[in-house]
Amino acid sequence: MPELGRAALVIALGLAVYACVAGGYAAWARRRRLAVSAQSALLAAFASTAVAALVLVAALARRDLSFAYVAEHSSRKLPLAYALSAFWGGQEGSLLLWLLVLTGFAAAAVALGRRAGQDIIAWVVPVLGGVAAFFAFVLVAVASPFATQPAPAEGAGMVPSLQNPYMLAHPPLLYLGYVGLTVPWAFAMGALLAGRTDERWIVATRRWTLAAWAFLGVGQLLGAKWAYEEVGWGGYYAWDPVENAALMPWLAATAFLHSVMIQEKRGMLKVWNVVLVSLAFCLALFGTFLTRSGVVNSIHSFTQSSIGPWFLAFIVIAVVVSVVLIFVRLPLLRSQVRIESLVSREATFLYNNLLLVALCLTVLWGVVYPLLSEAVRGQSLTVGPPFYNFFLRSFGLPLLLLMGIGPLIAWRRASLRALGRTFAWPLGVALIAGVMLLAAGAGSSIPGLVAYTFAVFVLASIAFEFVRGTRARRALGAPSWPSAFGALVAHNRRRYGGYVVHAAIVLLAIGIVGSSAYQTVGERALRPGQSMRVGDVTLAYRGLTERTAANASELRAHVDVIRDGRMVARVEPGKNSYPVERTTSNEMAIHTDWLRAQDVDVIADEINPTSGVVFFRVLVKPLVNLIWLAGLVFVGGALIALWPDAREERRLALRYESAAAGAPVAPPA
């Protein structure tokens, strides 16, 4: 039923335009019923988009090849789960997913964000409606997923590397993150339009920002895991522009999550926070543009892209709207409070912000420079990993150190004597660890040694914070140590959830450093019966076999992994041939040693099926598994920080009740 899909999108476009125009007029003219009607239009737009999405899902499930989109991104032989994942495998489907998530988030944010006040919400609705109208317009007029054709005998299939379980979750999570960043931006713009620069918009969007940021983080990690297991080159992050597209808004949102705490705690950095939330949203749009416009392949494919110019125009509008509103409201955003000391927690947050934004803009420059070069000088350039790695070390190592310093310093200011006493224990642990690492041979990479020493410092400072906090809770009357620990976290979920997230980032850093600075690589062509040694393992090649799977022919080399003279595993690297897609994929084999936290990656780079000779590339990656463990810890920390705090909710409810009803000014308990 492509007609229903098309009609549902036209209805969604009409509703989004209504939410934008009628909502804008209602906010300006202060019309209550019209404002409520515009809010309802957002929910109706979500329902209508959901109908369109269901039509596409049904077409994919039935492999209805009369839908051009289905024929281009799936095939009759494609397993159902992957056929459904084709929803976000192509341009039109992923834009539909954007609109679906956006309208859903918009309706929910407006319904749940009443605490922001009706005057702000009234302005948030047209902003969200405007963004939704853009995506609905692109889907209706430029890139419809409901174009039809005479059904071909077979579809084009799906790129083999996308036929991976991680691809079922990675793109939707990224979209939840990208789209989620629209909500805090819309509330920030709504607050500026309403001339309301108090904390209400921040309170209303706190969880939205944190959730969007967490989705974006987990989505990237799943993407890295997919690249590691599926792409078959032994790495997990290649500084590819499409990968950077998700990293940039995540870095901006990370900076925002830290700086917004300074506004909440000290009433400072109001301008900076609006700038950061606008930067995060515009980079989320830019990320979608990079992924979907074809501009990454070549600036010339951008001009041929159906959506590229529209997207670029919309990004320019979003930037101009943000900049103009910030300038117009600048007098209201000025803070009366200043940082009292350069040695204070807010100062370390500020340093952290500057480093995060510097890293974000460096990555942006690395992405944009080749495009500008091609557009202006006609020269196609590539900014490769050495550029990014240099700046990651330059900004990343101080950031890592600040993660350990920040929690140990008090708000407002700290005396040198107090700092000495607070830092003594974590610093001592880090120095001892550094010396031990040096003795163990970690000095082969100085940045690696520095990163590990900093990592130990951060972990020690986090542990120190938990220990002395638990001790204080116990002294305050907690009946047992576990209950003291529970009370500590429950009384300040954001602070201690944040520490858990910091621990996750440290694990990530340890994993990245271990698997890059300390990895061992070996390459050799082997005949069956021959072996090679890489690091502390021996690889014995036994022979080749060929087998047939549902939609591919699989050629596999059988390799024994031998450590200390004992076979510990048999791995099967090889290649898959996909007849429908007419392509071949490299299938890397991974042997994971959990005790050593080490992976042995075996890649069959070239296979001669006649002679049985295989050119192997083997990578021994220490600690790489900590990267994936970091993902689990990250989710745990984010959940702690996101978990509703009844005391905080009561306090906020009382605050806004008091503002409205002139209630007594006694503070909540």
Partner 1 sequence: MTTLALLAAAALAIACVVYVARPFLSEPEPDDDVLAGLDDRERRRLELLEERDRTLAALKELEFDHRTGAVSDEDYRALVGPLRRRAASTLRALERSPGPSDRQRTHVG
Structure tokens at 404: 């350990």
Q: Is 475 near partner 1 (CB under 8 A)?
A: yes
Q: Is 132 near partner 1 (CB under 8 A)?
A: no
Q: Among residues 102, 299, 408, 503, which is the contact residue for partner 1, using CB under 8 A?
A: 408
Closest separation between CB of residue 296 and partner 1, Å? 36
Of 35 and 299, the one with the shorter C-beta distance to partner 1 is 35
Cβ(301)–Cβ(137) below 8 Å: no
Q: Is 37 near partner 1 (CB under 8 A)?
A: yes
486 Ramachandran zone, left/alpha/beta (phi>0; psi -120 to 50): alpha
Q: Is 18 near partner 1 (CB under 8 A)?
A: yes
Q: Is 497 near partner 1 (CB under 8 A)?
A: no
Q: Among residues 1, 159, 242, 642, which is the contact residue for partner 1, using CB under 8 A?
A: 1
Of 315 and 414, the one with the shorter C-beta distance to partner 1 is 414
* Interacting residues with partner 1 between 519 and 538 (CB under 8 A): none
Closest separation between CB of residue 94 and partner 1, Å? 23
Handedness of CA 308, 309, 314, 316 (dihedral sign): positive
Q: Is 168 near partner 1 (CB under 8 A)?
A: no
Closest separation between CB of residue 202 and partner 1, Å? 10
* Interacting residues with partner 1 between 319 and 378 (CB under 8 A): none
Q: Among residues 47, 159, 312, 490, which is the contact residue for partner 1, using CB under 8 A?
A: 47
Structure tokens at 56: 């596409």
Cβ(609)–Cβ(555) below 8 Å: yes
Closest separation between CB of residue 584 and partner 1, Å? 40
Q: In angstroms, what CA-CA distances link 444 with 243, 439, 450, 519?
A: 29, 11, 11, 11
Q: Is 102 near partner 1 (CB under 8 A)?
A: no
Q: Is 148 near partner 1 (CB under 8 A)?
A: no
**Residue 138 burial (10 A CB sphere; 0-12, 13-18, 19+):** buried
Q: Is 27 near partner 1 (CB under 8 A)?
A: yes
- The site string for partner 1 over 182-221 (x = CB under 8 A, - otherwise) reads ------------x-x-xxx---------------------
What is the C-alpha separation between 513 and 405, in angstroms, rounded? 21
- The site string for partner 1 over 260-299 (x = CB under 8 A, - otherwise) reads ----xxxx--------------------------------
Q: Among residues 122, 173, 191, 357, which is the contact residue for partner 1, using CB under 8 A?
A: 122
> Residues of 52-64 as b/e, b for ≥16 C-beta within 10 angstroms?
bbebbeebbeebb
* Interacting residues with partner 1 between 617 and 656 (CB under 8 A): 651, 655-656
What is the C-alpha separation between 107 and 184, in angstroms, rounded? 14
* Interacting residues with partner 1 between 438 and 467 (CB under 8 A): 465
Task: Compute φ and ψ for 598, nearest 5 degrees.
Answer: -130, 140
From the list 263, 262, 206, the residue with the least C-alpha distance to 642 is 206
Of 306 and 492, the one with the shorter C-beta distance to partner 1 is 492
Closest separation between CB of residue 322 and partner 1, Å? 23
From the list 621, 581, 580, 584, the residue with the least C-alpha distance to 604 is 584
Number of residues that bind partner 1 (CB under 8 A): 71
- The site string for partner 1 over 567-586 (x = CB under 8 A, - otherwise) reads --------------------
Strands (E), 457-528: 520-526
Q: What is the DSSP string of 535-583?
A: TTEEEEEEEEEEEE-SS-EEEEEEEEEEETTEEEEEE--EEEEETTTTE
